[in-house]
Structure 1
Amino acid sequence: MVALLMSIMIFFLLLNFPMFITMIIAPLAVLIRYFPNINPLLAIQQIVAGIQAYVLLAVPMFIFAADIMCAGQTSKRLLDFVETFVGHIHGGMAITTAATCTLFGAISGSTQATVVAIGKPMRNRLLDSGYRDEDTIALIISSAIIALLIPPSISMIMYCVVTGASVGDLFIAGVIPGLLMLLFFAVYNYFDAKRKGIPRTKKLTWGERVKAVKDAIAPLGFPVIIFAGIYSGFFSPTEAAAIAVLYAAILELLLFKTIKLKDLANIALSTAIVTSAVFILVAAGQLFSWAISYAKIPQLLTTALLGVNPSVIKILAMVTIFFFVGCMFVDSIVVIIILTPIFYPLAVKAGIHPIHLGIIVTLQAAIGSISPPFGCNIFTACAVFDRPFLKVIKKLPAYLIMLVMISVLIIVFPQLSLALI
């Protein structure tokens, strides 16, 4: 069964079929071949059921909120705010980039949106401050992946749809790992800038800082509202997404006046296109997950790979490797939909907390998005900055090493992901 499933998937991918077609045909072929008496209508029911989860309503709304802010002034105000406080220290502009990506990630939940919103204005500032282009691009795309760990996160929502875990708990659990990534990047860039002798910017006065704080108060309300609301139980993650859209519209339409009401139609269209692609994958993934579970393929694979009674460390190490490698080649949403049903039952049986597993899965999705050959952030940077592939990936190894170290820390110390829930 496993050989047939993999052969069909590889065959259709080599023929350049869309991923959702591959995810539908491969499991259907397994069911028809090995379970001919099964009712075909069940497959249709599973496809429809895949997009019926209430929590999926949060996906288009978070994307819509991010698109509104990308078209407005939110990212610039956040950049100015962070730069006034840390821009003058060694590596200050690089630290500003990483910190602003973290703040914007707490608004958008999308790495690509963060690359565009923060990367485009910040790249010129970094180059003007004496940073080399390859260092700048590597910093931007690496810092952007913090958006997957800091709530809200679309990858976290996908994991919870597949497993039934609490979206609110997983959102909150991502805060410490996300801040840990920011700390690693900040320390690295501090010493790297000091070693390379990159000039520091002028230290701003407290008057200038107060002005920057005033300008940034409204954008900083996003993470405060989302995190505090979910943590306190005042509203659900889905309701938080709706509030994020309303808040973004109020800021950019009424307060900053950077977009007009008529612009919302084009922004909504862009959101609809992205959302449609995500939901098609989710629907196909539901059929895939149901089919392989019915055929007991996860049990076959995990037994073959891990043995009968694997240790917790062995399971988490295997999860890390498989998700990391998978996300190097395929979009993280696809990898989460395909691999999570395989490893999740075994991990829970071994006593691994579903939220801890979710953080590890999300972290690997983040790392995979900047890993050659097909990390999505790499190609986003190639398009946004008009730079060749090899130039974009040249300085990524240092960040990948740091991310591997963070993965090891979270595996060994589960409380890094469980302390806040």
Structure 2
Amino acid sequence: MVFFGINLVSMLLIGFPFMVTLLASLIIYVYINMPAFAPKLVMTMVQQVIGGITPPALVCVPMFILSACFVTSGESSARMIRMLKTFVGHLPGGLPITTNASCTLFGAVSGSTQATVAAIGGTMRPMLLEAGYPSSFTLGLIINSSDIAFLIPPSIGFIVYGVATSTSIGQLFLAGILPGLLILVMFSAYCYAYSKYKKIPLLPKAGWDERIHAIKEGLPVMGFPVIIVGGIYSGLFSPTEAAAAAVFYALFLETVIYKSLNRERVVDALLQTGVITGVVFILVGAGQAFSWMIGFLQIPQQLLPPLFGPDPTVMRVIFIVVASYFVACMFVDPIVAIFILSPIFQPYVLSSGVNPILLGTLVTLQAAIGSATPPFGCDIFTAQLIFRRPYLEVIGHALPFLLMLIVATVILVAFPQIALYLPGLMSS
């Protein structure tokens, strides 16, 4: 597999998209190392790619993406930001706290870190720069605050993990809420202290007339968490039905209430959804093919028994799994990492008695962390593309946020009920 790794890295450095490099590297590896069986193996890999995108639960992914595209094409995100800013903007760190809270709420629409970077970052970064915050701080804040969106339902990470491990997606959605809010509080406390230390000037305090007007404009956006979380928690919706309801609400909100979408924008949103969904599903299929290949080569059977030992404890399993995802997601797309690693670790997870909902929350958190962590976190390159800033500037203020996310992981391991409380209410 050394040649495979060299080929994969080389193609990435040349500039090929990751989904292309993964599949092409697999095919090249097969033809060079197993030429006699290559045609049959390639055909099997094609079947694995197709099989990886056929689970019914994945139907909700394009619908959640579509609802996010409707919202980003309209005015919901801007109105939501104005509403939050009128309440906390005058505090020390008010604008960064608004950014954190906006990313959290936008996560209830998109479930994607990259969409959150684009939607919230595009609005908040000019405000943060004008207020006197350093450019590297604003970039680190935006790409790491977007991690919260990956934990707030409807998280694409939870959907992929649920499909890969046959875990309840509805319970995973609920498990991400309190950890997401925990990270929101931690980031906001840091932003408050940082702004006080740097003596960033305070913004004028909004009056109650302005606040009431902002609430009237922004409150309809809160319908998304009510529909998705409330619908799933009450049993009214399955995750797929909640996705369909979110699409309908997004379209109604932007066309009827805000009147911000016309026919051309709706068509553009549909086209964007098709492109993004295509990328996501190719990554899912490529991850499934790669997972099958390393299973065919019996690599897990060679590497994992010495790593886990004959009778692994719960903490040992959690540590190995969490560390593996943390490292993997620094180098590959989180969706691919989840699809490749989850089936490999699943036998050890089940035999050790680790709660699958807790582990799914920890895994999705590591995927979120990795997406904003050097060297190849996908949110880093998204920020480079959107804000036209150099790589070193984008990652210049990443360390404080990374440390807080690691602390959040430790807290979840020490106090698992933070993740398990809401799913427990649903199942009781």
TM-score, normalised relative to structure 1 = 0.93
User: Is 1:376 the equivalent of 2:378?
Assistant: yes
In 2, distance between residues paired with 1:144 and 1:365? 12
Aligned to 2:307: 305
What is the alpha-carbon distance in structure 1 between the residues aligned to residue 376 and residue 50 of structure 2? 30
Letter in 1 for 2:259: K
AA partner of residue 291 (structure 2)? S
Which shifted more, 82-91 or 164-173? 82-91
Shift of 1:41: 6.2
Is the 1:23–1:285 Cα contact (8 Å) retained in structure 2?
Answer: no
Conservation of the 8 A alpha-carbon contact between 1:156 and 1:358: yes
Judged with a 3 Å threshold, the aligned counterparts in structure 2 of structure 1 residues 41 and 131 are, in CA distance, closer, same or farther, namely: closer
Per mean C-alpha deviation after superposition, the further-off stretch among 139-148 and 201-210 is 201-210
CA contact (8 A) 2:99 2:124 kept: yes
The yes-or-no answer on 1:11 pairing with 2:19 is: no
1: CA distance between counterparts of 2:127 and 2:173? 32
* Structure 1 counterpart of 2:255, one-letter code: L
Residue of structure 2 in register with 1:321 after alignment: 323
Deviations 1:375-419 (A, max 9, x none): 111111111111111111111110001011111111222212111
CA distance 1:392–1:15, shift in 2 (3 Å): closer
2:220 partner letter: A
**Other-structure match for 1:79:** 81
> 2:133 aligned with 1:131, yes or no?
yes
Other-structure match for 2:90? 88
Match of 1:361 in 2: 363
Closer, same or farther: CA 32–397 of 1 in aligned 2, 3 Å = same
The Cα of 1:31 is off from its aligned counterpart by 11
Question: Counterpart of 2:167 in 1: which secondary structure?
Answer: coil
CA-CA distance at 1:11 after TM superposition = 2.5
Q: Amino acid of the residue matched to residue 213 of structure 1?
A: I
Name the CA distance, whole Å, in 2 between partners of 1:417 and 1:34: 49
Name 1:267's counterpart in structure 2.
269
Q: 1:242 aligns with which of 241, 244, 255?
A: 244
Distance in 1 separating the partners of 2:380 and 2:245: 31
CA distance 1:322–1:34, shift in 2 (3 Å): farther
What RMSD, in angstroms, separates the aligned Cα atoms of the two structures? 2.3
Per-residue CA shift, 1:297-344, capped at 9, x if unaligned?
Answer: 333322132222222222212222211111111111111111111112
* Most deviating of 145-154 and 411-420: 411-420
Structure 2 counterpart of 1:307, which letter?
Answer: G
Structure 1 residue corresponding to 2:346, chosen from 344, 347, 351: 344
CA–CA distance in 2 between the matches of 1:89 and 1:76?
20
**Structure 2 equivalent of residue 156 of structure 1:** 158
Q: Report the Cα distance in structure 1 between the residues aligned to 2:178 and 2:315, rounded to whole angstroms.
A: 21
| Counterpart residue number, 1:283 | 285
1:332 corresponds, among 304, 328, 334, to 334
SS of aligned partner of 2:263: coil
State the Cα deviation string for residues 329-361 of structure 1 (Å, max 9, x = none): 111111111111111221121110111111111
| Aligned-partner residue type, residue 131 of structure 2 | S
**Structure 1 gap ranges (5+):** none
1:114-129 to structure 2, matched below 5 A, reads: 114-129=116-131
Aligned to 1:67: 69
* Range with bigger deviation, 39-48 or 106-115: 39-48
Aligned mates of 1:133, 1:228 — CA distance in 2: 38
What residue identity is the alignment partner of 2:111? Answer: G
Following superposition, the deviation at residue 42 of structure 1 comes to 5.2
Rate the CA distance shift 1:154–1:258 in 2: closer, same or farther, 3 A.
same
Tell me the alpha carbon deviations over residues 163-221 of structure 1, each in whole angstroms, 9 at most, x when there is no partner: 11111010100001100110100111111111111111122222221111111121111
**Partner Cα separation in structure 1 for residue 316 and residue 135 of structure 2:** 40
* Aligned residue type for 1:8: F
**Residue in structure 1 matched with residue 422 of structure 2 by the alignment:** 420
Distance 1:296 1:33, change over 3 A: farther
Structure 1 residue 66 displacement after superposition: 0.8
Structure 1 residues 339 and 254: CA distance shift in structure 2, 3 A: same
CA distance in 2, matches of 1:156, 1:29: 35
- The residue that corresponds to 2:181 in the other structure is 179
CA 1:315–1:27 in structure 2 vs 1: closer, same or farther (change >3 Å)? farther
Instruction: For 1:288 and 1:317, locate their aligned partners in 2 and report how far apart those are by CA, in whole Å.
Output: 24
The answer to whether the Cα contact below 8 Å between 1:150 and 1:171 also exists between their aligned partners in 2 is yes
Q: Which residue of 1 aligns with 2:226?
A: 224
- What letter corresponds to residue 185 of structure 2 in structure 1? L
Aligned AA (1:14): S
Give, in whole Å, the separation in 2 of the partners of 1:219 and 1:250. Answer: 11
Q: Residues of 1 paired with 2:82 and 2:203: CA distance?
A: 13
Return closer, same or farther for 1:10/1:361 CA change in 2, 3 Å cut-off: farther
Aligned to 2:426: none
Alpha-carbon distance change, 356 to 30 in structure 1, aligned in 2, over 3 angstroms: farther
| Corresponding position: 1:393 with 2:389 | no
Q: Distance in 2 between the 1:401 and 1:369 partners?
A: 15
Q: Is the 8 A contact 1:27 1:291 kept in 2?
A: no
1:302·1:346 contact (CA, 8 Å) conserved in 2? no
Match of 1:198 in 2: 200
Q: Give, in whole Å, the separation in 1 of the partners of 2:304 and 2:419.
A: 25
TM-score, structure 2 normalization? 0.91
Deviation, structure 1 residue 225: 0.9
Quick one: distance in 2 between partners of 1:83 and 1:40? 54
Partners of 2:164 and 2:43 lie apart in 1 by 21
C-alpha distance 11-240 of structure 1, shift in aligned 2 (>3 A): same
Contact in 1 for aligned 2:4/2:25 (Cα 8 Å): no
Please list every run of 5 or more consecutive structure 2 residues that lacks an aligned counterpart in the other structure: 424-428
Q: Provide the rounded CA distance (Å) in 2 between the counterparts of 1:33 and 1:306.
A: 34
Cα distance, 1:24 vs. partner?
4.7
**More displaced stretch, 317-326 vs 156-165:** 317-326
- Mean CA deviation greater in 314-323 or 387-396: 314-323
CA distance in 2, matches of 1:23, 1:346: 29
